[in-house]
A and B are shown apart, each in its own frame.
Chain A
Amino acid sequence: SSELSQPPSVSVSPGQTASITCSGDKLGDEYVCWYQQKPGQSPVLVIYEDDKRPSGIPERFSGSNSGNTATLTISGTQAMDEADYYCQAWKSDIVFGGGTKLTVL
């Protein structure tokens, strides 16, 4: 993994589905994880190994990864989901995407 690209911002209405993408060359050949970071707080792992949720993470968070793109999907988005989201992959080195600011309008 050398470089991961994310859209700077995504907007969603409450109750709708938010999709945040992470792109990289042959990213589907690697495993991706996702972190949520709220202002002034440390990042929190929400997805690992493409689609696994740590205990305590709501079921509305899901992930997928294929081809050159990994996607974090938040179903039934809530106001509390407004945050920055970062993808991360690992081959020989660890790389983070640039982050996406999710706004719940």
Chain B
Amino acid sequence: QVQLQESGPGLVKPSETLSLTCTVSSDSIRDYFWSWIRQPPGKGLEWIGYFHYREGTNYNPSLRSRVTISLDMSKNHFSLKLNSVIAADTAVYYCARGEIERVLYFDYWGQGIQVTVSS
């Protein structure tokens, strides 16, 4: 059973950088699309981006200029950095494992972490 766990600060000031880490209990970290997805309060899901060991990164075009996702295989975790945050970045942030066959789908999710952008 794969488990994912998000960690990081729950409060970030406007204009600063949001940094989150997802620790993965999996020995196949090279083989999947490790992803971040967020959900603003009372709203739907928004894909942020993914990192794949061989395929590289892909980001939501609406966030591309502010996002970096990286993978640290030695620590079995991957990270999200979102620059220049604003109040609209307040959301529950999920990390998820992306599997691909004829569509990329998310079969394992973390429990989510609430991040609030406020001074």
Chain A residues within CB distance 8 Å of chain B: 30-33, 35, 37, 42-45, 48-49, 54, 86, 88-90, 92-99
Contacts and interface: CB of A to CB of B under 8 A. Distances in A.
Interface of B: 35, 44-47, 50, 58, 60-61, 94, 101-107, 109-112
B101 to A, nearest CB: 6
Given A43-B109, A45-B107, A93-B61, 13 more contacts: A30-B103, A32-B103, A42-B109, A42-B111, A43-B45, A43-B94, A44-B109, A48-B105, A86-B44, A88-B45, A93-B58, A94-B104, A98-B44
Given A42-B110, A43-B109, A49 B101 contact: yes
Contacts of A88: 45, 105-106
A54 B112 CA distance: 21
A58 to B, nearest CB: 17
